[in-house]
Amino acid sequence: MMRALVIGAGPAGLMAAEALARAGLSVLVAEAKPSVGRKFLMAGKSGLNITKDEAFESFVAAYAEAAPVLRPALEAFGPGAVQDWARGLGQEVFTGSSGRVFPVAMKASPLLRAWLARLSGLGVEIRTRWRWTGMNAGMVFETPEGVQVIHPAVTVLACGGASWAQLGSDGRWTEMLRDLPLAPFQPANMGFAVTWSPHMAGHFGKPVKGIALRAGETVSRGEIVLSARGIEGGGIYAVSREMREGAPLLLDLAPDLSAAQVQARLARPRGKASLSNHLRKALRMDPVKLALLMECGHPLPRDPATLAALIKALPVPHAGPLPMDQAISTAGGIRLAALDAGLMIRDMPGVFAAGEMLDWEAPTGGYLITAALATGLWAGQHAALWAGRHAGERAQDQGAAAP
């Protein structure tokens, strides 16, 4: 039986391993950390968002310039297939009001346990604490038993990006692939550093709700959280790419009202009420929003029209992205042009790549996990086809050489 090697035991690697095993190959999964799926489990701590239930063209468009390359894999294993996959592992799903899809259990651990049991039943062998260190006449690993060299018929790399190093995504695989065209890693779906004045400390850890965020041409309705480090949360992640590329962040603190409506409310007589009390009453502005307005808009204009314009487009100065290791994901990795249609590395016949180590970027909301699963399956299936085709060619060559 032909031996297939998968390096990395996150969603992409496990999906590739299953595809290879179902194709009849003997599969070894090598994972550098002591346990598998660590980032997957971390993603499930706040509710595992596995995909997004929306029109397919809208879903694919979320991958921006990478969409044409990812499209075939997503057509083969898109949002509907991801939901069926979860159900097939005994985890029923539901769709939230935003279209995001979650397992009913909300956690990743029941899904991962069921998946690992299925892989074991298919004969997939998983070795942990196996760190890939090179390709010297084979795939070389540092292991608890010493250096091991594997000579697989086919390999799928699913080594992750470069965020959350403690969970396994440390980007060290670039050392082995330095001769390939690689895009530099950048943080994605990340928070941004803000130097707050002391009076903001009382609001750290609190969400800012009912706002819209704009950076460049992208507008997001979502929450942000203020922290001692800066601003984080789903709302900021949705505009993080544009901010990383230099677009200023503007907050609409009253997105359900027009500027004219805000102005009209502010123009009402306020008597002896302070401006902050007037804002609270006229716009039902909570203390966190008020603090943010005063922090970023100080000194506040008294003219209702000017103040309304500020409330509708409050600039938030920041000092750039928080450290990459704190980002949910990363942009960068193996450039897509270095891969063929089956995700095989053109300069490394028989070596395929999948998941976040490829140079694609997607917002949160189920897009990340869906593309990791889809590219893992796609790479695994095409790796199995390549191995079978080349095994047949080798057999023909051996037959022709026989006396």
Q: pLDDT digit string (tens) for 128-178? A: 999 999 998 899 999 999 999 999 999 999 999 999 888 889 999 999 999
Residue 231: is it exposed, middle or buried by C-beta count within 10 angstroms (0-12/13-18/19+)? buried
CB atoms under 10 Å from CB of 43, counted, come to 23
Residue 399 has pLDDT above 60, yes or no: no
Reported confidence tier of residue 394, pLDDT bands at 50, 70, 90: low
- Residue 350: is its pLDDT beyond 80? yes
Among 51, 54, 110, CA closest to 77: 51
Per-residue confidence band for 74, with pLDDT thresholds at 50, 70 and 90? very high
Scanning 94-218, the segments in alpha helix (DSSP H) are 109-121
Taking the whole predicted model, whether its pTM rises above 0.75 is answered as yes
Residue 150 one-letter amino acid: I
Please report the pLDDT score of residue 392 as a whole number: 62
From CA 51, how far away is CA 83, in angstroms rounded? 8
Q: What DSSP state is assigned to residue 204?
A: T
CB 357 within 8 A of CB 333: yes
* Residue 166 amino acid letter: Q
Question: Beta 139-143 vs 131-134: how paired, if at all?
Answer: antiparallel
Distance CA 382, CA 388 (A): 10
**Residue 69 pLDDT exceeds 70:** yes
Backbone angles phi, psi at 370, to 5 degrees: -60, -45
Q: Has residue 253 got a pLDDT over 70?
A: yes
Structure tokens at 102: 């979650």
Classify residue 385 as left (phi > 0), alpha (psi -120 to 50) or beta.
Answer: alpha
Q: Report the helix count and the strand count for the chain, using DSSP H and E.
A: 13, 21
How many Å apart are CA 263 and CA 332, to the nearest integer? 44
Nearest to 319 by CA among 225, 249, 214: 249
Tokens of 162: 């470069």
pLDDT-derived band at 402, boundaries 50, 70, 90: very low
Write down the pLDDT at residue 164. Answer: 86
Of the candidates 61, 88, 87, 91, the residue with the CA atom closest to the CA atom of residue 74: 61
Residues contacting 109, CB < 8 A, separation 6+:
41, 44
Taking residues 32-56, what's their average pLDDT? 92
What is the number of other CB atoms lying within 10 angstroms of the CB of residue 250?
Answer: 16
Domains in the chain (CATH in brackets) are: 3-187+325-401 (3.50.50.60), 192-315 (no CATH)
Question: Are 249 and 215 a contacting pair, CB within 8 Å?
Answer: yes
| CA–CA separation, 115 and 90 (whole Å) | 10
pLDDT at 236 over 80: yes
84: which residues sit within 8 A by CB, 6+ positions away? none
**CA-based nearest residue to 336, from 142, 69, 16:** 69
